[in-house]
Structure formats: C-alpha cells, structure tokens
Structure 1
C-alpha cells in the first residue's frame, strides 16, 4: 500500500526539481547572462523586428513578418545599436586581462620562486589557466557578435559588392585588431606602475608607429581598390570572351582577344604587386620600429634591475606588457589595408542610407483590369538635360493593342522601360486604373506587367525556371500555359531535356535565337499580366514565329489585357488597333490605326508637294490664291 505524502514534502520535491532544472540551465549556458543578451539582440536585429502602431501592441511577430516590415538599412542600424554595447564591454574585459597575466608573472617570480612553495605555484598556475579560459570565451563571444553584425550587412542587399570589405573586416581579424588597441593605454598605465620611467619607451614607440601608419592608410586603400578593379575587369572579360572564342576565331580576332587577355593579366599582376609592396613596406617598417623599441625597453628595465629599482618579476611583467603593446600595433599594421577599405565602404553605405527615402506603407491595390493612361510624360537622356521623351500622352483600354513606331533612337525602348516602372518620368504620370506605378511595390507591379526586351537575356537555369521568373513555388501548369500562349511549347519540348534544359551554360550549345526569344516572351506572359510590353517582338522570328506572335496578341486582347509592342512588322501592325508614332523629341501622333495611317498619308502628300515646289528641277508653278488662302 503506497503511503500518502504530505503537501509540504511535495512542495519540497518541487523546489528541489526546480533548483536542479535551474542548475542544468546554467550548465548549458557557459557564458554570462549579459553576453547571451547581447548575442540575442544581435540575432534579433538580423531578423529585423519592427513593432510600430498596432503591431506594437501584438504579443510577437514572426521572423518573416519582421523582415518584411523593416528595410535592410534599418536592420543594420538596429544591429549596430544592439551590438556595440556588448562589443564595448567585451573590449573592456579583454583590455584588463593583460593586467592579470602581468600579475601572474610577478607573483610567480617574486613570491613563488623565492618561497619554493609548490602549492603557491599550483595556485598561480590555476589562476593563469582560469585567465586563459576566460580569454578564450570572451574572444569566441566577440567573434559571434561580429559574425551576427556582418550577417546584418549581408542582408542590406543591392550593395553586396561594396559591402564585401565591411563583412571581411568584421568576420576576419581586422576589426578585432583595431579594437584590441584599446588595451594599449591600460598596459601603459600598468607598465608605469610596475616599471616607472620604463613606460616612456613603449609610449614613444607607440607614437612613432602611429605616425608611420597614419599616412599609409589612404595609400593602401587606393592600391587595394585598383587591384580589385583590375581583378574584376579581368574576370568580366574572361567570362564574356570564353563563350565567344569560336566566333572570334572565325572573325579573325582571336589574336587580338588573346592580346587583350594578356594585357589584363599584366594589369592585375602589376596592381597586385604594387599593393603588396606598399602593404609589406608598412608592415616591415612597423616591425623594425617595434623591435628597436622593444630592445630599448629591455635595456631600460635591465638598468632598473641593475640599480636595484626593480625586481625580476617587475622585469618579466614589463617585457610582457611591452611585447603586448608592440604586437597589437603590428597586428593593426598587418590589417590596415582591410580596415581602410572597410572604412571607405562604410562611408559609402552611410551616404547611401542618407539618400534613400523612407519606405512608405503601401496599401495593397486590386489588380488593374481597365485602363492605362500616360499624361505629359517626359524623360531626359541619361546624364544630360536633353529630353528623350517629352509631352507623351495617350491612353489604352482593356483589349487594346498599341503599336509603337518611329525611327531609331527616338525613345521607343525607353518608353517601355518607363511604362514598366524601371525608370521614373521626370514629369507627368503613368497610371494603371487611375493609380500611379509607385503605389505598387516592386513585386506587385512586376506581377501586373510583363516585359520582353529586344535581346532575350535568359538567365542561367532551366527553361521552366526562366519562364517562371525563378519563383520556387511556381505552378508547372502556369509555366506550360505561358509557353503555349507564346507559341514556344513545341520548340521547348524539342530541346534535349524539354522544360528542364539548362540555359546560359558555357559547356552546352544555346538554343536558336528565335527559340530564346519565344522563351523570353513566355516569361513576359507568365501569370497573365494586365500590361504586356514587347520591345521588337518580331526580331529573330520567321514566318512561324510571326504567326505565333499574332496569336499571342490576339490572346491578350481576348482576355482583356493591354499589349504595347514596338515595331512596324506586319504581325504587329495587323494585330494593333492603336498606333503611337514617336519622333526624336517626343510624340508625333496617336490614334486608331486607320486615322494615323490617313494622317501620315496626308503629311507625306504635303511634304511631297512642298519638296516639288522648292526643287530646282521642278517646273515653275503659279501659286493659286484660293489654295494659298485656304492653306
């Protein structure tokens, strides 16, 4: 028969279990609580928590919601605010550890050695082991904080190449070497207390080394930038030239291409040698200076011992602290180029943050289904004040197909990019169902607008992935539907692996340009966008391709979309019901196909008559006063 336990004994058992659980929890957390708090804050910054307004009254936001509600730049700023206190506390603790090492040497030499006490030696050795373990834990914790801060910069996006120096400095030994210089003042103070006037020698050496390093920082950063630019140019030229070796050989340019590659390799070699020489020169100069002053410190400490002004333990502690000072400065010199590059990248990042407008909270809008309207849109030539487009105004309803025609370099392709939201008009507006394009975010806007460039520009990946715009959750049925609408399905299934054929691979032959163009058209049609922008869609197409383009434009009309196609091919003109004529400087005409054709014929007739009147080969004519009055 089981004995019935009293409530008091039950409460005691619960208390013992709780205490045991707390002990296990503490055992699983080897770091102090404040360190875990700093790391947790850094992790939280990487997920970018953003609580504002009604969301601030919620209990918790998920990581996905958090990331979507705060920009990458805000996440970086939040990371710095939450990581810097922990890094500062860790730096202070690490700067005090050399005091413990110096104290250990003094006690070991001045107390344990004369006393010949084994227990004292063991105790001091235990103290030194504890200091080493604490030092290791603090260094590991600081590395984790820097890693989380570097992850925040990785998430900044859009500036990956420019943020590489910052990430390299944070996760590497460069930034820790800079922070460890904070231990130099502490070491000099302890050195003054232990060795007296001997501290002046390391102080003078540190000042000389800093004077040597100060002018070298900018030069090293410029040399490394030049080397990186040479590397990038060489890699880009190699990536572009490798697939075209056979074509260059057929064109008789193989030797010129080889000479260009050799020239790029020489530029990389010379830039790297120059940067390495300057960096090595600074490091060597710092090393020689540190060695000289360290020898002077040893001589001064020996003189004090000879004068009975210092003990053997004080001599050992003095040499340890002086070595620590000069070793820290030598590490700083070794990573000076990385720190200079990170400083420049950080400045550029901060300037870009100041120029970025604060993100607006966009209310989700319903998909456009009715109308496209362009009002007095103007766009200048990039980098100049000359206007590529000005006073462009037209409107299209659901089911319209607009053909954009005009001479070369009159702004047809730029017009499509403006309608897609890729470039912003300096004047006027572009509206879908009455809403300007900036009232949609980038993802929502791209879902409603399909764009086909003149050159297919397919990305490395499968055919299906290119059509689905690399959406990992793409529906295969939508992929095949877009391919059928573009007339590309039959050509795709004839490829070696069908929709799983890899594109843009160096070791595999590319499909024909006509097939690539149809795949790009299927990419533009994916998801049945309301507005379809086609830049010269009949390029690279034969009769079958033009017939597929006709069926595609007819399908857009039937489902109530709007198609704007650049080009004057029969497939485009016959399918269009509206025509937009551009001339250099702006819009020349817009209207139905019949009206624009009649106005163009009338202008051509008047131009012919005017040319006939002014031609020296034409017979003289007597001006008709009635016609003159009418005109």
Structure 2
C-alpha cells in the first residue's frame, strides 16, 4: 500500500522469545554436562570398583549417578516444555495477525501462495517435537570432544574426523532437502487448491459427470507431487543410513584403537568404554539432525516464508482512527489492469473513472456485460487496490485508516454472496462481538428479511454456511447478505447486482431499502442488472469497456423524453434484464 510502512511482526515475535531461548541454551549446556555421567561412572566402575572389589564404593557411585540422572531428566523436561511453550506462544501471538495478513494478501492478490497459518503450525510442531531439542545439543559437541582429547589425543582426533564426515553428510542432506522443498511445497499447494475448489463445487461437478476427469487430473498432480517427495527423500535417506552405519563403525574403531592404547599402557581399560560412549555422544546430535533433515528443511522454509510474508505486509496500525465519515465520496482517475497485464489499453479493466457523490446520493452504474461494473464495485469498497487513482471517503483514502477500521463504515453486497459457517445472526453482525441484538434486528428489518428469518426453524440462531449449514435459496442468501451490508448504518453502501436472485417482492424490498439508506444519509452505489435496481437512485454512471461515457442525474441520462441517448440507455437496461 502506498506510503505504508512494513513492520515485520514475525521478527518482533521471535525477539520476544530471546530470553526463553537463552534459558533453553543454558539447560542444554547442563544436560550435556550431565550426559558425561554415564562415561565417568563406567570409568570408575572398571578402574576402581572392579580392581578394589568394594561394594560400598559401587553403591556410593550409583547413588550419585541416580541423583545426577534425576537432574538430567528434570532439565530435559524443562527444556522440552519451554520449547513447546515458545512454539505455542509464537502461534498464539501471530495467529490473528497471520489471518488478517493473509486476507489482505488475498485482497491485493499478492503473496497468496504463502499460507502463514499453516507455516506457523509447522513451526509450532517442530519446536514441540524432539528435533528441536537435538539441535540445541549440537553446540555442545566440543565438550565431549574435549573430554576425549583429555583421555587421549589419538581418540579425540579419530572422533573429530568422524564428526567432520558426519557434519559433511548433514550439510549435503540439507542442500538436497532444501533443493526439493520449495518445489514440493508448490506442487502440494496446487494440488490442495484444486481439490478444495472441486469439493466446493461438488454439486456442479457431479451433475455434469465431471468427477472422473477431475479425479484423473488430480491423480496426475498427485503423481507429480509424490515423485518430487520421493526425489527429495532419496538423498537424505541415503545420507541418514550412511551416518548411522558410520557411527557404529566409529565406535568399534574407538574400541580397537583403545585396546591398542591399553596394551601399550597409555590408557586404562575403563577409558575404552568411556571413550566409546563419548564418541557416540559426539555423533548422536549430528546423526539426529541428519535423520530429521526433512522436518528441519520444512521448518526453515516456514521460517523464511513467515519472515518474507510479514516483511512485505503493510502495517497501518499506527494510523489515527478517524471519525465516522458522512459519506462524501471522491473518485479520482480510478484505473485497474488485469492481473498479469502489461499496462496496455487492451488489458485495461477500468480506465480513468472519476466522479463525486454527496451523503444521501444514490448512484446507478449501468453498462453491458464486462463493461467494468463489478471491477468498479470492488475498487470502491477497497476489495481491490487500484493501479492508478484513488477512492476517498470524506477526503481520506483507505490507507489513512487503521487496518480494518474503514470496513465498519462500508457495506458491500457482491454478486456471489457467501455466508460463513455460523448463525444467521453472526453473519449479519459480521461476527462482530460488539454488535447488539438490536443492531442485527434493525439491519434485518432494513433489508426486509426479518420476517423471513423468523420463519426458519431456529430464527436468527439458524446455522448457515459450510456443509452442515441449513440450505437457503439464492434469494434468501442475497437478502441476508444485504442485511450484513447495511448493519451499523454504513456511510457507503455498494450493491453489485443486488436483485440478481430476487423475485418481484424482493425487488420492492430492495427499492425501499435503498430509499431508507439514502434517507438516513448513506451514499448508495448500485451496479444495475435490471431497471428495478436503479429505481431509487438519483444519479447514473454509464460504463462501456471500462470507460466512463457519462455521469449525470438520472433524469438527464435516462429522461422521460424520447431522445436518442435516453432511448439507447433504456434499451441497454432492458437487454440486461
């Protein structure tokens, strides 16, 4: 959005967890130190207990080991719980912002391939699982290496070489996983979108016998997605198997070299077992990281996606909450191009539309099919952003309002009305918890749908939307959508072909609703589909192939006189009807 400053809320949320991550690093250090307990205990048993035959020494050593392992278990539990809490906190802190940001991205038709809610879930699941804990053990691998060098430098060098080989295989696994992760995610997104849309239009699909063809097309996408998945897994599986095999071989090598050192009286027999355990501790975090590379790569992709998504999401929270507008509309050089268009005249959806309306005005927008009426409607309410020009309400463009604040003062009835899963009352109230029963009933009465709702089994509590909602006719849905549009007495009401599914009684109700809205001071703009839709307006705007050809009072545009211009306009409206 022009002039909007991007604020990376994801980066801010991560910074808030710095103290928690610091404590987790501390716990990981303590856990790594306590992991030396087993090696030291074995060393003492072989070198002290077995040589002395002292049961008291063995019991004393074992008592110390029990206490140390209890602390080990406690710190490991605390670390895991903190990681889980951090993941949950991140998803909670960013969940609402992600939902709103995704809606805004869909509104501007940018970044819609990113699913911030899904990526937050991936991040939370990773932090709550065992993979994250193993990563925090990796920085403390030098601790075990240091102990091995103290036991004997040769043993330390052998394990260093093994650790370098394991780390190299881990890097290769990461490169392979990262190479395929983006492609796999894109393929999965395309497949998911196709299946979702097919299910949503299941009635049409089944009625026209399209299910077989759609299933075949979905299968082709599935084959492509599964192939990508297998290719991404092949390299990491080979490297993970190599790492495990190498780890076992290295421990045997340590035993062999240790035995040679014992025979040469350079270390004690207990040090052989301790060194073998320590070498396993050196390679274990690396081995676990390699085996979890697919999960790690997925999490890294989620991290980058969230960072980039919020980096490119404008923040308008700092704007001042302006007073309720009166409804003075100023449209200046409004221009919109098609999605993938170079800015050429052939690809223009709307070109340089300008007009002014005062509070209480009613504007009827007429024109042939594909003349730009619906495009203008979306631009007027901010559902789409113009490529040029702007829409002002009481002198303020949409980006001068805090995010979402202007929407309360706008009513919009699109061509295709969709009721969200919930009650009729919730849909009319726009799911606003501050909407009172009086607000909902007043809006329903203004839309002349109150009596219709009362005839339903549960009245305003009737569940609609989704698969489990009560089936409603197109006219009922459209009139409930009208009630949703007019709640809170909005300053601007835009109705896109509002009588497309209405009968004669519905047309009369719509005409009275428009008159009532204008009498209350609302500015009403109607995209005309039938002549009855503009019966209650006082101005007319004519569109032709995205261009405004005329804007004047209804009397001057349509007139009662049989002038060529007025006759042409009336004929066009009759053809649309």
Q: 1:167 to 1:505 in 2, by over 3 A?
A: same
Following superposition, the deviation at residue 454 of structure 1 comes to: 0.6
Residues 138-287 of structure 1 mapped to structure 2, 5 A cutoff = 138-154=75-91, 155-156=93-94, 157-158=97-98, 159-224=116-181, 229=186, 231-242=188-199, 244-245=201-202, 247-263=204-220, 266-267=223-224, 269-287=226-244
Give the match for residue 511 of structure 2: 550
Which residue of 79, 98, 117 corresponds with 2:35?
Answer: 98
| Match in the other structure for 1:333 | 290
Deviates more, 1:437-446 or 1:597-606: 597-606
Pick aligned residue for 1:529 from 469, 481, 490: 490
* Per-residue Cα deviation, 1:530-562 (whole angstroms, up to 9, x for no partner): 111111111111212211111110110111111
Q: Kindly report which structure 2 residues correspond to 1:52-91, keeping only aligned pairs within 5 A, or say none.
A: 72-73=9-10, 75-91=12-28
Q: Equivalent residue for 1:591?
A: 552
Structure 1 equivalent of residue 461 of structure 2: 500
Structure 2 CA distance, aligned partners of 1:601 and 1:101? 101
Larger radius of gyration between Structure 1 and Structure 2: 1
Structure-2 change in CA distance of 1:122 and 1:242 (3 Å): same
- For the residues of structure 1 that align with 2:319 and 2:562, how far apart are their CA atoms? 44
Question: Structure 1 CA distance, aligned partners of 2:284 and 2:303?
Answer: 27
Superposed, 1:155-554 pairs within 5 Å as 155-156=93-94, 157-158=97-98, 159-224=116-181, 229=186, 231-242=188-199, 244-245=201-202, 247-263=204-220, 266-267=223-224, 269-357=226-314, 359=316, 361-384=318-341, 385-386=343-344, 387-507=348-468, 510-554=471-515
**Mapped partners of 1:518, 1:577: distance in 2:** 23
Match of 1:133 among 70, 78, 86: 70
Cα 1:491–1:600 change in 2 (3 A) is: same
- C-alpha change, 1:252 and 1:79, in structure 2 (3 Å) is same
What value does the CA root-mean-square deviation take over the aligned residues? Answer: 2.9
1:34-49 alignment to 2 at 5 Å? none
Q: Which stretch of the first structure deviates more once superposed, 240-249 or 450-459?
A: 240-249
**Relative contact order, higher structure (CA 8 A, sep 6+):** 2
The structure-2 alpha-carbon separation of the partners of 1:496 and 1:263, relative to structure 1 and needing over 3 Å to count, comes to farther
Does 512-521 or 79-88 show the bigger shift?
A: 79-88
Counterpart contact for 1:109–1:312, Cα < 8 Å: yes
Q: TM-score, normalised by structure 2?
A: 0.85
* Cα distance between partner residues in 1 of 2:314 and 2:422: 34
Per-residue deviation, residues 27-48 of structure 1 (Å, max 9, x unmatched): xxxxxxxxxxxxxxxxxxxxxx
1:497-547 Cα offsets, whole Å, 9 max, x none, are 332222233256621111111111111112221111111111111212211
What SS does the corresponding residue of 2:451 show, helix, strand or coil? helix
State the SS of the aligned residue for 1:364.
coil
Q: 1:175 to 1:410 in 2, by over 3 A?
A: farther
Q: For residues 424 and 527 of structure 2, what CA distance do their matches in structure 1 show?
A: 25
Distance 1:223 1:268 in 2: 11
Contact conserved, 1:195 with 1:318, CA < 8 A, in 2? no
Query: Secondary structure of the equivalent of 2:551?
Result: strand
Residues 456, 547 of structure 1: CA spacing in aligned structure 2 closer, same or farther, 3 A cutoff?
Answer: same
Structure 2: 5+ residue runs without aligned partners?
Answer: 1-6, 99-115, 570-577
Name the SS for the 2:331 alignment partner.
strand
Partner SS state of residue 360, structure 2 = coil
Moved more, 135-144 or 461-470: 135-144
Aligned to 1:122: 59
Find the partner of 1:108 among 45, 70, 73: 45
Residues 258 and 437 from structure 1, CA distance in 2 versus in 1: closer, same or farther, beyond 3 angstroms?
Answer: closer
Q: Following TM superposition, by how much is the alpha carbon of 1:307 offset from its aligned partner in structure 2, in angstroms?
A: 2.1
SS in structure 1 at match of 2:143: helix
Shift of 1:104: 2.7
Is structure 2 residue 556 aligned with structure 1 residue 582? Answer: no
| Conserved? CA contact 1:462–1:499, under 8 Å | yes
Whole-angstrom CA distance in 1 between matches of 2:182 and 2:258: 44
Q: Is the 8 A contact 1:150 1:171 kept in 2?
A: yes
- For residues 604 and 488 of structure 1, the distance between their equivalents in structure 2, rounded to whole angstroms, comes to 34
Q: Structure 1-normalised TM-score?
A: 0.78
CA deviations 1:547-581 (Å, max 9, x no partner) are: 11111101101111111111241222211101122
Give the number of equivalent residue pairs. 538
SS at match of 1:214: helix
**Shift of residue 267, structure 1, vs aligned partner:** 4.8
Deviation of the 1:91 alpha carbon:
3.0
Indicate the larger mover: 206-215 or 557-566: 206-215
In 2 relative to 1, CA 376–601 (structure 1 residues): closer, same or farther, beyond 3 Å? farther
Deviation at 1:151, TM superposition (A): 3.0
* Distance in 2 (alpha carbons) for counterparts of 1:171 and 1:163: 12
Report the CA distance shift for 1:231/1:491 in structure 2 as closer, same or farther (over 3 A): farther
Structure 1: runs of 5+ lacking an equivalent? 1-69, 608-631
What per-residue deviation string (whole Å, max 9, x for no partner) do you get for residues 125-182 of structure 1? 2322222122222222222332333234313232212333322322222222222112
- The CA deviation string for residues 12-58 of structure 1, in whole angstroms up to 9 with x for no partner, is xxxxxxxxxxxxxxxxxxxxxxxxxxxxxxxxxxxxxxxxxxxxxxx
Paired with 1:531 and 1:559, the residues of 2 have a C-alpha distance of 11
Q: Distance in 1 between matches of 2:250 and 2:265?
A: 23
Task: Give, in angstroms, the shift of residue 223 of structure 1.
Answer: 4.3
For residue 215 of structure 1, give the secondary structure of its aligned residue in structure 2.
helix
Deviations 1:368-424 (A, max 9, x none): 125111223333332322443333221111111111122333332222222222333
Contact 1:579 1:590 survives alignment (8 Å):
yes
Task: Specify the SS of the correspondent of 2:405.
Answer: helix
